[in-house]
């Protein structure tokens, strides 16, 4: 005689909690009194058959058990499965496990023998199996030649396996059932468990106990299928090399030892099994989800345009570039991969304002992925958007154009591109290309900066992928001599070191060379910009700040706010007209944090020099949502870079509710200027 699932559950609960009453058992397991009484009749019959004492119920409703029963809890797994009969749902999971892991052909007799049930019971179980597999778009079929088998996509079969194994291991004596029905030796499971312990050491983490218990069986089943040629055909929509620099991918390699013929797709699949907190079907980037990912990115760009108050040129081109980048980044973000991108741990000052707005615009992407975009990934997105802004807004005809060629991964190529942009502000750089992209590019360029020799009729400069200060300085001098015919005889690291050697004792030559090179590089890069570091208060001197009691309408507010800039020649009358044309109403898109409106127009519409003005309306201008607008700022930006940095300063101010209250209470423009100067940082540098 066997115990059924309900009787077994009630017996275990009683033995673990001897003081429990029948009423509590009814409540906990949602059973009627009759069902509980019926189960205990079956339990007592089974106990007598096994030679144990019966369970009695006292006058108080509590159960009376003899000490010999408590040994049942401590029995070995193998003994438990001898007296526990699986439920119908558990038998269905065992059949699925057999169909997916067994090497032999399976007939009805196999199931009858292994499950120790009747033919009719197995036939009913197979109907339930079919219902379960239909959820995964799979089907059970029988042929005389091959017996019973599961038909469908390999990924879906693995998903069914994960569910079945998870259900079995949660049942009473579950691990023994897995060993018995998979016909796997305990030593093989222990070997895989040891490898998983090495993975833990490699990743400096500990798998939860339930994961460590089931993963060896999952891996054993997967490796069996790989050995039979039953491999994953699903496209992960990325090249697995995109993840090859992650610690998780390296850790997964530990599991592949002694496993021949493991394809890249299988390596990817097993890597993903290690990345989540439980062994359930993983979310992967299916081909049908590609349009949804692209739409999420489109919404990010729309949000960026709204927050940055710009209209991106060639937006579809940028979208395609971002889309190609985000496909591999999806896995890094979703599964929190530990890629080392420390070389990009900060963003260039040139893109700081853009980066701030990018991070504020990422919610649609985060909602799609189901995880927050980490800082290093948001930096990559900023580099794409910032580079696109430069590429589409600079006047290319007035500058030499250069391509950067790097055969290595994304992080190194972006680092090269970023270094060269900083080193040569007088040259326009396209976004970094691979060798293959360079060979097929239609871009018009004058110079090539490459990490490897290339065949080209243009002037080419071979550069290191990661250059120190001395190498950067030497490269700049070489380019200036070769391209611009400018000879700089006065400054070089070697020349200065020779002079210092004559008159001083050098204790740390390498350190001194580095410090000199760093100083000279910074001097080269900043010599033209030493006088441009300005704060928000510098852009808005007292003469550009106005206070007024009230205005009749929005148009009057724009004119009054722009008046100081027009008076000092920063903007033309045409610029004011263009603002009035573009913003006939104070729409949501140009009001920062619902506090400061920033009407503006394109630079070419009449900006003469950099500046910013501020109007405070004491009684406020009524808005459609019932709130009142008190602050109107006009930005006169000479280029997009200045526009973003000025905007960042205003965004900072718009988020300071306490400072806005102080500005509102100020008596005059002088007090307002003092408050701005005291409480805002530098925004133009």
Query: Is the domain 83-182 a CATH 1.10.10.10 member?
Result: yes
pLDDT digits (tens, 9 = 90+) for 514-545: 777 766 655 544 443 433 445 678 888 899 99
pLDDT digits (tens, 9 = 90+) for 623-658: 887 889 999 999 887 765 566 666 777 777 887 888
Mean pLDDT across 551-580? 93
Give pLDDT, residue 621.
92
Q: Assess contact for 565 and 614: CB atoms under 8 A.
A: no
Which comes out higher in pLDDT, residue 440 or 573? 573
Give pLDDT, residue 341.
44
* Distance from C-alpha of 122 to C-alpha of 131, rounded to nearest angstrom: 14
**pLDDT band at residue 81 under the 50/70/90 scheme:** very low
pLDDT digits (tens, 9 = 90+) for 322-360: 887 787 677 667 766 544 444 444 555 556 778 888 888
* Distance from C-alpha of 278 to C-alpha of 210, rounded to nearest angstrom: 8
pLDDT above 80 for 283:
no
Does the pTM surpass 0.75? The reply is no
pLDDT above 50 for 294:
yes
Beta strands 459-462 and 447-450: pairing type?
parallel
* Distance from C-alpha of 248 to C-alpha of 204, rounded to nearest angstrom: 11
* Reduced 3-state DSSP string for 477-507: HHHHHHHHCCCCCCCCHHHHHHHHHHHCCCC
> What does each C-alpha distance from 345 to 348, 375, 611 come to in angstroms?
10, 8, 32
* Distance from C-alpha of 250 to C-alpha of 259, rounded to nearest angstrom: 15
Mean pLDDT across 387-396? 62
Give pLDDT, residue 685.
38
* Distance from C-alpha of 374 to C-alpha of 446, rounded to nearest angstrom: 37
**pLDDT band at residue 36 under the 50/70/90 scheme:** confident
Residues 6+ apart with CB under 8 A from 105: 146, 147
Mean pLDDT of the chain: 79
Distance in angstroms between the alpha carbons of the first and the last residue of the chain: 84
Burial of 285 (0-12, 13-18, 19+ CB in 10 A): buried
Give pLDDT, residue 16.
74
Give pLDDT, residue 631.
94
Mean pLDDT across 258-276? 72
pLDDT digits (tens, 9 = 90+) for 410-421: 656 777 888 888
Query: Is the domain 394-467 a CATH 3.40.50 member?
Result: yes
Q: 5-74 and 83-182: same fold?
A: yes
Give pLDDT, residue 208.
65
Per domain, the residue ranges of the chain are 5-74, 83-182, 186-273, 288-391, 394-467, 534-684
Outline where 309-425 has alpha helix (H): 315-334, 352-359, 363-369, 375-393, 410-423
**pLDDT band at residue 607 under the 50/70/90 scheme:** confident
pLDDT above 90 for 40:
no
Of 115-119, 396-400, 448-452, the range with the lowest mean pLDDT is: 396-400
Q: In a 3-state reduction of DSSP, which class is residue 642?
A: helix
**pLDDT band at residue 246 under the 50/70/90 scheme:** low
> What does each C-alpha distance from 495 to 467, 502, 637 come to in angstroms?
20, 11, 42
Which comes out higher in pLDDT, residue 391 or 570? 570
Instruction: Please state which CATH class domain 534-684 belongs to.
Output: alpha beta
Give pLDDT, residue 134.
93
pLDDT digits (tens, 9 = 90+) for 142-195: 988 889 999 998 888 988 998 899 888 877 678 888 888 898 888 889 998 898
Residue 430: CB atoms within 10 A of its CB come to: 20
Max mean pLDDT among 63-67, 381-385, 664-668 falls in 664-668
* Distance from C-alpha of 354 to C-alpha of 380, rounded to nearest angstrom: 12
**pLDDT band at residue 429 under the 50/70/90 scheme:** confident
pLDDT above 60 for 280:
no
Give pLDDT, residue 342.
42
* Distance from C-alpha of 304 to C-alpha of 289, rounded to nearest angstrom: 23
Please choose, from the candidates 369, 372, 385, 375, the residue with its C-alpha nearest in 3D space to the C-alpha of residue 346.
Answer: 375
* Distance from C-alpha of 351 to C-alpha of 417, rounded to nearest angstrom: 14
**pLDDT band at residue 564 under the 50/70/90 scheme:** very high
Give pLDDT, residue 533.
45
Give pLDDT, residue 526.
43
> In sequence order, what are the beta bridge partners of 633?
614
Question: Between 1.10.150.120, 1.10.10.10, 1.20.1370.10, 3.20.20.70, what CATH number should domain 5-74 receive?
Answer: 1.10.10.10
* Distance from C-alpha of 629 to C-alpha of 599, rounded to nearest angstrom: 13
**pLDDT band at residue 78 under the 50/70/90 scheme:** very low
pLDDT above 90 for 99:
yes
Please choose, from the candidates 644, 635, 639, the residue with its C-alpha nearest in 3D space to the C-alpha of residue 683.
Answer: 644
Q: Assess contact for 8 and 172: CB atoms under 8 A.
A: yes
């Amino acid at each position: 005689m066997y115990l059924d699932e309900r009787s077994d559950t009630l017996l275990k609960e009683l033995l673990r909690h001897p003081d429990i009453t029948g009423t509590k058992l009814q409540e906990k397991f949602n059973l009627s009194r009759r069902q509980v009484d019926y189960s205990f009749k079956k339990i007592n019959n089974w106990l007598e058959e096994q030679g144990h004492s019966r369970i009695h119920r006292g006058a108080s409703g509590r159960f009376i058990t003899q000490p010999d029963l408590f040994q049942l809890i401590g029995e070995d797994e193998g003994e438990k499965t001898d007296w526990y009969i699986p439920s119908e749902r558990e038998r269905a999971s065992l059949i699925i496990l057999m169909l997916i892991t067994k090497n032999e052909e399976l007939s009805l007799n196999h199931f009858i023998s292994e499950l120790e049930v009747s033919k009719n019971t197995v036939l009913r179980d197979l109907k339930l199996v079919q219902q379960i597999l239909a959820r995964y778009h799979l089907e059970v079929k029988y042929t005389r030649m091959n017996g019973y088998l599961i038909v469908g996509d390999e990924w879906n079969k693995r998903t069914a396996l994960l569910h079945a194994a998870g259900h079995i291991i949660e049942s009473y004596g579950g691990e023994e059932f897995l060993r018995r029905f998979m016909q796997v030796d305990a030593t093989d499971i222990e070997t895989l468990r040891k490898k998983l312990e090495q993975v833990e050491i490699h990743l400096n983490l500990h798998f939860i106990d339930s994961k460590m218990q089931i993963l060896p069986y999952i891996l054993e089943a997967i490796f069996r299928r790989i050995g039979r040629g039953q491999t994953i055909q699903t496209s992960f929509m990325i090249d697995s090399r995109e993840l090859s620099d992650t610690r998780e991918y390296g850790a997964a390699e530990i599991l592949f030892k002694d496993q021949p013929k493991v394809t890249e797709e299988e390596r990817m699949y097993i890597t993903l099994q290690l990345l989540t907190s439980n062994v359930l079907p993983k979310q992967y980037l299916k081909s049908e989800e590609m349009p949804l990912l692209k739409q999420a990115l489109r919404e990010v760009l729309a949000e960026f345009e709204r927050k940055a108050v710009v209209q991106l040129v060639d937006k579809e081109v940028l979208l395609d570039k971002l889309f190609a980048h985000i496909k591999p980044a999806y896995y890094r973000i979703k599964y929190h991969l530990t890629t080392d991108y420390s070389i990009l741990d900060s963003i260039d000052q040139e893109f700081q304002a853009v980066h701030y707005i990018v991070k504020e615009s990422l919610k649609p992407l985060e909602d799609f992925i189901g995880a927050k975009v980490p800082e290093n990934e948001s930096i990559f997105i900023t580099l794409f958007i910032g580079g696109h802004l430069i590429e589409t807004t600079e006047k290319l005809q007035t500058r030499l154009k250069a391509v950067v060629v790097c055969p290595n991964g994304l992080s190194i190529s972006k680092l090269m591109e970023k270094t060269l942009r900083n080193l040569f502000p007088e040259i326009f750089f396209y976004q970094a290309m691979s060798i293959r992209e360079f060979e097929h590019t239609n871009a018009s360029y004058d110079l090539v900066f490459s990490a490897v020799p290339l065949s080209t009729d243009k002037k080419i400069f071979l550069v290191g992928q990661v250059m120190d200060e001395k190498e950067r300085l030497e490269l700049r001098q070489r380019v200036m001599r070769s391209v611009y015919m400018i000879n700089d005889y006065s400054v070089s690291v070697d020349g200065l070191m020779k002079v210092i050697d004559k008159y001083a004792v050098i204790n740390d030559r390498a350190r001194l060379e580095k410090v000199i090179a760093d100083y000279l590089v910074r001097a080269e890069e900043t010599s033209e910009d030493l006088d441009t570091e300005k704060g928000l208060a510098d852009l808005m001197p007292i003469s550009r700040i106005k206070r007024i009691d009230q205005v009749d309408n929005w148009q009057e507010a724009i004119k009054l706010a722009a008046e100081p800039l027009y008076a000092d020649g920063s903007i033309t009358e045409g610029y004011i007209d263009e603002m009035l044309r573009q913003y006939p109403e104070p729409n949501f898109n140009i009001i920062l944090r619902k506090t400061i409106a920033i009407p503006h127009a394109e630079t070419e519409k009449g900006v003469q020099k950099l500046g910013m003005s501020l109007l405070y309306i004491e009684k406020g201008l009524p808005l459609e949502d019932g709130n009142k607008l008190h602050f109107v700022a006009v930005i006169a930006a000479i280029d997009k870079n200045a526009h973003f940095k000025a905007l960042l300063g205003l965004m900072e101010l718009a988020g300071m509710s306490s400072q806005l209250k102080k500005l509102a209470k100020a008596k005059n423009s002088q007090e307002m200027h003092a408050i701005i100067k005291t409480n805002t940082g530098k925004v133009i540098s």
